[in-house]
């Protein structure tokens, strides 16, 4: 469900309320029942359907004792709004935790934004044709209270995009605004994209976590398959 669907549902609800409050015979104006919604609820409504209910309480700690300790430390850093780099295996809960952290920030009145690396790169490219200065787009991403950049390993590989991503990450660091970077690749690959100094600065204020535990998705499928075999 996207934002357009949410808007259509909202308008449909207004129409239903109006139809239930038709103008009476005395000719007095009908009253339309209000449909209260907070700014926080509106922002969370834009989450992808899969992650609308993402929360820290919904994250299951698993793996070895050392891995579970790393997971608890990661969740605590995200809960406190620290900068974080999550990299490593697929299916380990990176995106779930990212949206859980965004929900947490939104409920504190902050503007939290999620974008993939290619989303940002493509927006800058489109800006060339629409006469939108790159600096304006970069400044927009620097200005958000809380920023998640996913799929850091999906860069196209041009020097210009690396420079612009560095400007965003470094600008947010200088403004003391938390950034969460997510990648399924290695630590070295993330460093190559954002720059070693930017990577180390995030670790300085927050934490960089190698999510080396097994995929929860594969683990869940295997568990369900085991139940069927019994």
Between helices 159-174 and 134-143, what is the axis angle to 10°?
Answer: 40
pLDDT digits (tens, 9 = 90+) for 119-139: 999 999 999 889 999 999 999
Cα–Cα dist 164/156, whole Å:
13
Exposure pattern of 122-141 as b/e (b: 16+ CB <10 Å)?
A: ebbeebeeeeeebeebbeeb
Residue (of 115, 208, 126, 120) closest to 156 by Cα position:
120
Confidence (pLDDT) at 64: 94
pLDDT digits (tens, 9 = 90+) for 81-120: 999 999 998 899 999 999 999 999 999 999 999 999 999 9
Q: How far is CA 112 from the centre of its chain?
A: 8
Q: If you average pLDDT over residues 131-151, what whole number do you get?
A: 95
Cα–Cα dist 104/84, whole Å:
15
Contacts of residue 8, defined as CB under 8 A and 6 or more positions apart, other chains included, come to: none
pLDDT digits (tens, 9 = 90+) for 168-210: 999 999 999 999 999 998 888 888 888 888 888 888 889 999 9
Q: Do 112 and 102 contact (CB within 8 A), yes or no?
A: yes
Where along the chain do its domains lie? 3-36, 46-218
Q: Which residue has the higher pLDDT, 17 or 186?
A: 186
CATH class of 46-218: alpha beta
Cα–Cα dist 32/19, whole Å:
9
């Amino acid at each position: 469900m996207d934002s357009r669907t949410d808007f259509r549902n909202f308008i449909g609800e207004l129409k239903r309320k109006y139809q239930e409050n038709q103008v009476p015979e005395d000719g007095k104006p009908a009253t339309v029942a209000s449909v209260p919604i907070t700014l926080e609820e509106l922002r969370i409504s834009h989450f992808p359907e899969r992650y609308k209910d993402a929360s820290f309480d919904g994250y299951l700690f698993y793996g070895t004792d050392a891995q579970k300790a790393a997971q608890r430390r990661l969740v605590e850093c995200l809960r406190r709004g620290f900068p974080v780099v999550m990299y490593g295996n697929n299916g380990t809960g990176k995106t779930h935790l990212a949206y859980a952290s965004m929900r947490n920030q939104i409920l504190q009145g902050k503007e939290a934004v999620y974008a993939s690396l290619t989303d940002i790169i493509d927006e800058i490219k489109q800006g060339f044709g629409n006469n939108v200065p790159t600096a304006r787009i970069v400044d927009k991403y620097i200005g958000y209270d809380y920023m998640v950049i996913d799929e850091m390993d999906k860069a196209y590989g041009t020097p210009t995009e690396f420079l612009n991503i560095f400007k965003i990450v470094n600008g947010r660091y200088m403004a003391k605004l938390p950034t969460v970077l997510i990648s399924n690749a290695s630590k070295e690959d993330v460093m190559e994209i954002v720059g070693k100094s930017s990577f180390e600065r995030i670790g300085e204020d927050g934490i960089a976590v190698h999510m080396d535990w097994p995929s929860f998705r594969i683990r869940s499928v295997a568990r369900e398959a085991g139940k069927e075999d019994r």
